[in-house]
């Protein structure tokens, strides 16, 4: 960083976060995710794809023991810096999905993962794309987060994730049930339709088999916070 680069800060709930280079600033979906995250003091929490560490820092401040992962090295640095800035401890690890926590179990696994459907031939490899790109059908990371949950959840543990309604509430429930996780919706919220979605609206509409999108050019999108609980 040079003296002329500027410094982007985000302040929320009495905490201050530095938005580093190559790290996505918090969006409406980030705040929605944090508002409904059922964190309990003393629990072991894993956040996959923590970005600048917003949810992880707040969970640590609520008394949880938090491991936060991200695939972007600058995000891991940002998580560490933001934990220090707010006087909490977060174990930040670099790596893909569950790779940094092999053999470990948690009471709560949570993720606000990249889930924007990305038509083939439109993928990019930069950090901004890493924050958005959910693969062709939007489920690329979500599927892996769900697949890995049973072997990383403690008995009675919960997997909690955000999802665009157009990716399919029924599909999310079926995926959780297929892994013996009992599904519930913790919250729903209507948000502004993501700008990046307009350029690929026809592709998104072709995936919306449950009819969650408004007809025409939608101004809004519904998002869900879904929980799957292990017996
Ligand atoms: C939508 S952003 C969410 C960031 C933050 N949790 C929030 O709510 O603002 C998704 C994050 O997941 C990270 N990510 C993408 N692919 C990943 C993967 N395979 N494993 C771990 N993290 C990943 C991205 O770098 C990005 O920080």
Q: 131 alpha carbon to ligand 1 midpoint, in Å?
A: 5
Model confidence at 1, in pLDDT bands (50, 70, 90)? low
In angstroms, the CA 111 to CA 99 distance is 15
Place of tokens 């959840």: 153
* Atom 15 of ligand 1: nearest residue by CA position: 130
List domains and CATH numbers for the chain: 24-230 (3.40.50.150)
Q: 174 alpha carbon to ligand 1 midpoint, in Å?
A: 24
Length of the chain: 231
What's the confidence (pLDDT) of residue 126? 78
* Main-chain phi, psi angles of 204, to 5 degrees: -65, -45
Tokens describing residue 157: 């543990």
Pocket test for ligand 1, best of 15, 34, 66, 70 (most atoms within 8 A of CB): 70
- Segment 179-193 shows an average pLDDT of 98
Summarize pLDDT for 15-43 with one digit per residue, the tens: 999 998 889 999 999 999 999 999 999 99
Q: Give percent helix, percent strand, percent coil of the chain, each to the nearest 5.
A: 30, 30, 40
* Atom 13 of ligand 1: nearest residue by CA position: 49
Tokens describing residue 16: 């201050």
């Amino acid at each position: 960083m040079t003296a002329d680069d500027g410094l982007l800060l985000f302040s929320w709930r009495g905490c201050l976060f530095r938005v580093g280079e190559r790290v996505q600033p918090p969006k409406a979906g980030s705040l929605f995710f944090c508002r409904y995250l059922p964190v309990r003091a003393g629990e072991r929490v894993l956040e996959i794809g923590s970005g600048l560490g917003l949810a992880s820092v707040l969970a640590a401040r609520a008394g949880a023991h938090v491991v936060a992962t991200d695939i972007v090295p600058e995000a891991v640095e940002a998580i560490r810096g933001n934990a220090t800035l707010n006087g909490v401890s977060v174990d930040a690890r670099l790596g893909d999905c569950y790779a940094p926590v092999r053999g470990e179990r948690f009471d709560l696994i949570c993720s606000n993962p990249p889930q924007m459907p990305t038509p083939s031939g439109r993928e990019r490899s930069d950090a901004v794309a890493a924050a958005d790109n959910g693969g062709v059908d939007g489920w690329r990371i979500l599927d892996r987060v769900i697949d890995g949950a049973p072997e990383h959840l403690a008995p009675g543990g919960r997997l909690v994730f955000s999802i665009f309604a157009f990716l399919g509430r029924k599909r999310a429930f079926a995926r959780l049930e297929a892994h013996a996780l009992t599904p519930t919706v913790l919250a729903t919220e209507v948000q502004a339709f993501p700008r990046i979605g307009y350029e690929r609206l026809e592709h998104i509409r072709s995936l919306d088999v449950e009819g969650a999108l408004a007809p025409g050019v939608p101004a809004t999108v519904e998002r869900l916070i879904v929980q799957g609980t292990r017996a």
